[in-house]
Amino acid sequence: MDWKLELVAVPVSDVDHAKAFYAEKVGFNADQDHRVSDEVRFVQLRPPGSACSIAIGTGISQSELGSVQGLQLVFSDVNAARDELAERELGVSEVQQFAFRSSRKIGFK
């Protein structure tokens, strides 16, 4: 049996601002933006090439704002990804090299 992680709910305070950040700045695909009712809005955003998405909105999570931390994206070329994000005028760190598992990362400033 295959197990697949397909959706992670990320609580946000401003849905429109968060959607614009992830879609326009970071480059996620805005797959859905559906207002179910006055109390519920469901926005699904997916990194290019990923099978897993994040969900933001209103009325979809009882989690505390800022409680989801450490989401990780994997890039075939971390340096190219960093350059692309910097070109989009996002404050990103330099690529950091870690001693374990040849891991490297970038972060938002």
**Does the pLDDT of residue 108 top 70, yes or no?**
no
Residue 78, SS3 per DSSP: helix
Tokens of 51: 């099978």
User: What's the one-letter identity of residue 12?
Assistant: V
- Give residue-wise pLDDT tens across range 32-43: 999 999 999 999
The stretch 85-100 carries a mean pLDDT of 82
Give the gyration radius of the chain's Cα atoms.
15
3-state secondary structure of 9: strand
Domains delineated in the chain: 1-61 (3.10.180.10), 72-109 (no CATH)
> Looking at the whole model, is its pTM more than 0.85?
no
